[in-house]
Amino acid sequence: MKYLLLICGDENLELDAAAAAQLNEDTERWVEKTSGVRLEGHRLRPSTSATSIRVRGGQVLATDGPFAETKEQMGGFDILECDGLEQAIEIAAAHPVAQFGTVEVRGFWD
C-alpha cells in the first residue's frame, strides 16, 4: 500500500550550522535506508511562499500563505510503498524530523 508522509516542523526554529549539517546528514542516511520503499520525496519552499486556492460561487479566491495558521507547517513529503501501516509508522518514526517535529502518515485510496 502507498503512504504519504507529511514532514512538518516549526519554520521559525533556527538551527546553528552544525545542527543543520547534522540534520542534512541524518536525512540523507534515512533516504538511503528507505530506498527499497521510498518512491519519491521533496523539501518544500517555506509556507510564506504558498498560495491557498478556494472556489466559492464560481469565483476563484487566491490567498497568499498557507491555509492553516499553525506553529508547524509542512516542509516536505515522502511517498512510500509499504507492506502495511506498521511498516510505514516504523519508517516515519525513523525520520530525523520526527525528533523535533511531526511526521503525519496517510494512506492513499486504493
As a whole number, mean pLDDT of residues 20-43 equals 96
Q: Which residues contact 94 (CB under 8 A, 6 or more apart)?
A: 30, 33, 34
Domains identified in the chain, total number: 1
Check if the beta carbon of residue 4 is closer than 8 Å to that of residue 77. Answer: yes
Residue 69: per-residue pLDDT: 67
Q: Which domain holds residue 12?
A: 2-107
Residue 11: per-residue pLDDT: 87
**Residue 61 burial (C-beta neighbours within 10 Å; 0-12, 13-18, 19+):** exposed
Q: Collapsing DSSP states into helix, strand and coil, what is residue 92?
A: helix
Q: For position 56, which CATH number holds? A: 3.30.70.1060
As a whole number, mean pLDDT of residues 31-54 equals 94
Q: Which residue has the higher pLDDT, 65 or 30?
A: 30
Task: Evaluate if residue 110 carries a pLDDT over 90.
Answer: no
Q: 53-101 pLDDT, tens per residue?
A: 999 999 999 988 776 667 788 999 999 999 999 999 999 999 999 999 9
